[in-house]
Amino acid sequence: MATFSAKNFAAANYNLFRPTYSTSFYEHLMKYHNGPTSLVVDVGCGPGTAARALLPFFDKVSGHDASAAMIATANSKAAENLPPQDFERVSFHVSSSEDMGDVESGTADMVTVAQAIHWFNHKLFFQEVLRVLKPGGTLAYWYYVDPVFPKYPALNKIADNFIYDDPRYLGSYWEQPGRNLLRGFLKDVAVPEHSFTQVKKFEFHAEQFEEGGPEKEPPLYIHQKVTLNDYKAYCLTSSAYHAYKLAHPDEQIDVLDLMVEEMNKEMGWTAKDNESKILDMVFNTGYVFAKKA
């Protein structure tokens, strides 16, 4: 997670171009929780996307992130977007996932992690979750990874080459083991069985995409209508791209521009199409819910 914590990481762009989560997903989470709603602690909160979305469901929301830049963005976005009565109910803190010192022991009804647990020291994180959660409190973490274009497999092949496969590009710049954990649907992140009960796991694989949407939408479903320029903007927020640019400050043509050019060549599209042609983009997603024993 060192890249996102760096002072020169563009936290504002992360806020602009990363996916958000539907109200129906939070309602699904709260149905599972079915308990007190005094305090939720959002760990690895980034620019505060999930923390703000949790405000309708809890009296107080406490967001935590190791990146001062992310916390600054979270505070500014909260000030910009929340009415005073809601702004007073959310707070953001620079702290690690292993030491949430601002949270008193046994006071949290829920601990959430949106798109961040793959960066954590899991043993220490679970210990800290057990410290702050009330008995019977909920731990919920969820994630998305590797968006695909269901109707254009050739685009997916080019994206995989630039983002993972070709060592000349982004593949060797991902922080590990975090990225591989995420690509593996966090199967190697084990919730301590002796400390948690009622563990509920869910995965959605993007190849399950159906034209017009699935007959019954999965609990965590991220389907966007995007242009290639939108997709490039999303890729710009990745830790691998940030690390790559630091290693190649004098590169004449941006690596993501090369990727888009190759996509255009493959499909017979022009630069104008990058702004106007609308594509379906679907993410692989998943979540884990559990109760403190």
Q: Rounded to two decimals, what is the model's pTM?
A: 0.92
Band of pLDDT at residue 242, cut at 50, 70 and 90: very high
pLDDT at 215: 63
CB contact at 8 A, 121 and 98: yes
Tell me what the mean pLDDT of segment 126-131 comes to.
99
Query: For residue 11, is pLDDT > 80?
Result: no
pLDDT at 15: 57
Q: 55-72: per-residue pLDDT in tens? A: 999 999 999 999 999 999
Band of pLDDT at residue 18, cut at 50, 70 and 90: confident
CB neighbours of residue 246 within 10 Å: 12
Q: 91-124: per-residue pLDDT in tens? A: 999 999 999 988 999 999 999 999 999 999 999 9
Query: For residue 12, is pLDDT > 60?
Result: no
CB contact at 8 A, 170 and 163: yes
Domains in the chain (CATH in brackets) are 2-149+175-223+282-292 (3.40.50.150)
- Tokens linked to 5: 């914590």
Assign 23 to helix, strand or coil: helix
Q: 70-100: per-residue pLDDT in tens? A: 999 999 999 999 999 999 999 999 999 999 9
Assign 233 to helix, strand or coil: helix
How far apart, in whole angstroms, are the C-alpha atoms of residue 155 and residue 172? 21
Tell me what the mean pLDDT of segment 221-235 comes to.
96
Query: For residue 5, is pLDDT > 90?
Result: no
Band of pLDDT at residue 212, cut at 50, 70 and 90: low
Which residues does residue 132 pair with via DSSP β-bridges, in sequence order? none
CB contact at 8 A, 41 and 104: no
> Is 187 exposed, middle or buried, given 0-12, 13-18 or 19+ CB atoms closer than 10 A?
exposed
Percent of the chain at pLDDT exceeding 90: 89
